Amino acid sequence: MVSRRQFLQLTGLSPLLATASCSKPTPEQTVAGSSVNPTVNKPNVLFICIDDLNDWIGSLRGHPQAKTPNIDRLMSSGVNFTNAHCSAPICSASRNSLLTGLKPSTTGWYTNAKFEHSVDDILKDIPTLPEHFKNNGYKTMAGGKVFHTGVSDYRHHQWHETLPEYVITNEYLLGRGYGYGRYGNKDHKYYPFPKDGGQIVQTLGPDTRGKSLCWGALDRKDIPHNGVMPDEYIANWAIKQLQQTHQQPFFLAAGFIRPHSPFTAPKEYFDLFPLEQVQMPEIIDDEMADIPLYGKAMALGIIDGGDHAAVTQVSDSFWRELVRANLACIAFVDDQVGKLLDALEAGPNSANTLVMLWSDHGQNFGEHRNWRKMTLWQESTHVPFVIRLPGQTQGKACPQAVSLLDIYPTLTALCQLPAVDTNEGLSLASLCAEPSLERAQPAVSTWGYKNHAVITETWRYIQYRDGSEELYHNIDDPNQHYNLANTPEYQAVKNALQIWLPKHNQLPPGMSEFTGDFLEQRINQWQQANGVPDWLS
């Protein structure tokens, strides 16, 4: 393993590299090229959302052993945006940004905190994405996790039809989760848990926070609803909608749960990945040495003492077991995607349906000693994102950095709906026609108040709210081991990327001034105790 100094010498990176691609466009400039030709009939939309799916996809090469033949075939027949990033690396903030067309720095919705009380003040008359389709003649249908808690977190009138929530009545199966999520009468979409509650519970006790960081290869008898997982329940419902003839164009959203933790799936998917053959993510010993304090605080995780410390405490093999479990859960959800694609292609709506697939954010598996999302590194922000237009069979890849914030204006353009002036993303309609067209604007991902990552094809620049920085060369250092931010010759690169940082950062709802959040709490605890844990040093 080369040292950081050797890395700089070997690569000879120039501060002028790729700065041209960061030039700021004029306000009216979006993507160069002509507009998409209108079609006679408005297309249907199959809107496939997947929870916590990182780039462990065959076509994205995030993990060499990923088995995703169905997502791969969609990507090979559509436009595969290989460098797509969430606008926030956490469920609620990401989905609300995507579905409202607004940046987290505009709304102040940065986390999973409850914010329903602020919706009317912030959105006013701005329609959500499904509302906009409903208001313009589409039949809107949804099942599973589309918003954070389900089909709707607010404005529950935006759907014509919805799938009832997956509810578990078996107290034994419910009890395995030890109160995870909204344990009670509903919202059991993340279940089932392993038979014994999971490895974290067994090691640290049932009151431990972060207990969902566990895995289980389940027999069908260990799964509620006569062996039907929540994602299978969602897929079965969506298939029925795709098999029907509808009197108006439809917008059908299917929100799958896996590979969100707990990493449980039917046993046959684990059998695809023998444990001893599982390849591990690339890690270096001094991975955290050049990470600023705020980055370390993000990586700490949820479990008391830190997620990484807990993982290594469970057993010597637990890290590998979790990597295997994620591969298994991804293979499982890929099968559900395949069912939908098969039903669409065999049904009455195949000729005029646009298919879009995306994930709300990524997921780390020990990289940078992180075990969740909720950081501004590649593993947390990079997501699969593909658009297949009606009748399209020839796949194209677009390597330019795009944002999930672009989804709202893109679908509006492709389906010939009125533009929504408040949309802060850029339409990708021209890139769907010609992926090689130049896009000047990078992607920006935000985690918490005034913490941002600016991402281009070549660079990732991170600035935390205290002004500390990280800079990575995506081509020569794809795993982001070597922080170049404090190397003087890259000041020009940082200057070019800094112009894309949000000029306005809205305070979180309810705050009249920023008084800190969980990051400051963690840093203060370290300062009052024995400093940063050794494994984060």
- Residue 36, in any domain of the structure: no
Tell me the pLDDT of the chain averaged across its residues: 91
| Mean pLDDT score, 9-31 | 37
CA distance 276 to 480: 27
Q: Is the alpha carbon torsion for 339, 411, 407, 148 positive or negative?
A: negative
User: CATH number of the domain that 399 lies in?
Assistant: 3.40.720.10
pLDDT of residue 17: 37
| Mean pLDDT score, 424-444 | 94
pLDDT of residue 182: 59
Whether the pLDDT of residue 185 is over 70: the answer is: no
pLDDT digits (tens, 9 = 90+) for 360-387: 999 999 999 999 999 999 999 999 999 9
Task: Give the residue numbers marked as catalytic.
Answer: 91, 148
pLDDT digits (tens, 9 = 90+) for 134-171: 999 999 999 999 999 999 989 899 999 999 999 999 88
Give percent of the chain with pLDDT exceeding 90: 84
- Residue 5, in any domain of the structure: no
Amino acid letter, residue 359: S
pLDDT of residue 116: 77
pLDDT of residue 258: 98
pLDDT of residue 35: 38
Among 177-191, 347-361, 458-472, the range scoring the smallest mean pLDDT is 177-191
Q: What angle do CA 190, 195, 199 make, to 5 degrees?
A: 80
Whether the pLDDT of residue 33 is over 90: the answer is: no
pLDDT of residue 430: 95
CA distance 280 to 157: 45
Confidence of residue 316 (pLDDT cuts 50, 70, 90): very high
Retrieve residue 95's tokens.
């989905």
Whether the pLDDT of residue 3 is over 70: the answer is: no
Confidence of residue 530 (pLDDT cuts 50, 70, 90): confident
Whether the pLDDT of residue 252 is over 50: the answer is: yes
- Residue 360, in any domain of the structure: yes
| Mean pLDDT score, 341-346 | 98
Please give the tally of structural domains in the chain.
Answer: 1
Q: Please name the helix (run of DSSP H) or strand (run of DSSP E) that holds residue 253, with its range, or none.
A: strand 250-256
Structural domain span for residue 428: 44-438
CA distance 55 to 505: 29
DSSP secondary structure letter of residue 439: B
| Mean pLDDT score, 413-426 | 97
Q: Phi first, then psi: give them for residue 329, nearest 5 degrees.
A: -65, -35
- Residue 388, in any domain of the structure: yes
pLDDT of residue 184: 52
pLDDT of residue 515: 93
Whether a cis peptide bond, with omega within 30° of 0, leads into 249 is no
